[in-house]
Amino acid sequence: MFSRRPALSLFFFFFTEQYDVVGPRDPVLVIAGEDVILPCSVKPSTSVVDMRVEWFRPDLKDSQLVHLYDDHVDKNTDQIQSYIGRTKLNHQELQRGDASLILSSVRVSDEGLYKCFIQSKYQYDDTTVNVSVEAVGRPPVITVDGFDHLGGLHLQCESEGWYPEPDIEWLNSEGVSLRSETTETHRDEDGFSVKQTITVHHRDDKIHCRVKLKHHVLETQIITTSKRFSSWRTSIILISVFAVLSVTAGILIAVFAPKNRVNVILDADTAHPQLIVSRDGKQVRYGNTQTKGNGKDRFDKFLGVLGKDGFSSGCFYFEVQVKGQTEWDLGVTRQSVKRKDVIHQIPENGYWIVGWRYGKYQARDSLAHSFSLSVDPQRVGVFVDYEKGLVCFYDVKSMSQIYSFTNQCFNGKLCPFVGLGYLKNENFTPLIICDDY
């Protein structure tokens, strides 16, 4: 294993410029299957191109190697096998003192402590990054498991693929927790599976089964009826519930879009230096050339740009064409949102966005998590109700809902936001603000 504490000349130690290696104060939370950036940089900002950068796991036996950069190249021959092909440093960012590790396709086994060790010729320092992994399991499934002698309906709810161990509960239509009868939990290589049973004696009610972690919740409901229960009727009712949700999304687009549409013009002064905004402010694409200057209002790592006008009341709606683009984000942000360095694009930080990255649809609600769509949207509508704390995303063609942020608390002006990923996008297809609706 590589030596991480060399003997240093005291003379050079005290008479060369000193630096500190810094990382995040809080644990880095990530969903299994997503990519994550583990922040690590030197302060004051100093190029680490000529230094040794080593990432390793101090919580594993022999503090095994995760990634090594030395003599201007990556040297990963002694890398832990499970990390092969999943780690990289951004060599351009090393010039700015940023040695953050990009870890792709995060696994449950990646949870733990990571040490970022940076060594120059006469100095060294390190910082520890705590990574916490959550795996969101499959949506819970409710099945009818017969009746008791009093005519009560036995229901069983089960779900699998969670990490860490989730909580499971039943609730009635008023959100009151119902007493369960049995709970089973099992752990395997795919995570935790849970199963819980309950007997329902009342009729004409909606019964919910909810499985939840600290930051994520999945829920399924079943509608009981005073007529005779049967598994086939339950299935029909469940399908009807989800169909109503899709129809409602279509109605919202048809009713609110014409009335509340706004003329979104992108503000080129906020765009990442490698984004090219059209003269009319209606299109943005990634470019090979970089705009001179990195003003205080520009994004410098995320390829983002804001709309010129902000809104602090009422409802507004706009549409963005994403057809042909392989990496995109859109939604709304606070006008005063942080735009420099690595940003967790979550509501707590003033971001309400969804996107398509790494072949997956993602919503960043406290933590990024993935969801699937039956059809890839070509044009996405964004509807905001400021007073109700609502941000809804729709597939315009099918008039179906993609995702919604509800019960949010907005503070200050909200601006439309579009983005093309992080640091680089090799697809030059533009995102287009649409006015033809």
- How far apart are the C-alpha atoms of 364 and 351, rounded to whole Å? 8
Q: What's the confidence (pLDDT) of residue 24?
A: 94
SS3 296: coil
SS3 65: strand
pTM: 0.51
Please write the tens of the pLDDT for every residue from 79-137.
Answer: 999 999 999 999 999 999 999 999 999 999 999 999 999 999 989 999 999 999 998 88
Give pLDDT tens digits for 301-313.
889 999 999 999 9
Nearest to 66 by CA among 20, 26, 100, 31: 100
106 versus 61: which is more confidently predicted? 106
Q: Quick one: pLDDT at residue 291?
A: 67
User: Which pLDDT band holds residue 231 (cuts at 50, 70, 90)?
Assistant: very low
Distance, in Å, from the CA atom of 120 to the CA atom of 247, rounded to the nearest integer, reads 61
Which segment of 90-94, 149-153, 219-223, 292-296 scores lowest on mean pLDDT?
292-296
| Distance set, CA 434 to CA 235, 259, 262, 378, 429 (Å) | 39, 15, 10, 12, 15
What are the structural domains of the chain? Answer: 20-134 (2.60.40.10), 138-226 (2.60.40.10), 258-434 (2.60.120.920)
Per-residue pLDDT at 366: 62
3-class secondary structure, 128:
strand
DSSP letter at 311?
A: B
Backbone phi and psi for residue 197, each to the nearest 5 degrees, phi listed first: -120, 155
Instruction: Report the C-alpha gap between 62 and 160 in whole angstroms.
Output: 33
**Helix, strand or coil for residue 253?**
helix
pLDDT band at 28 (very low <50, low <70, confident <90, very high): very high
Q: Which two tokens stand for residue 402?
A: 């993609």
159 token code pair: 């779900």
pLDDT for the residue 15:
44
Q: Taking residues 169-178, what's their average pLDDT?
A: 87
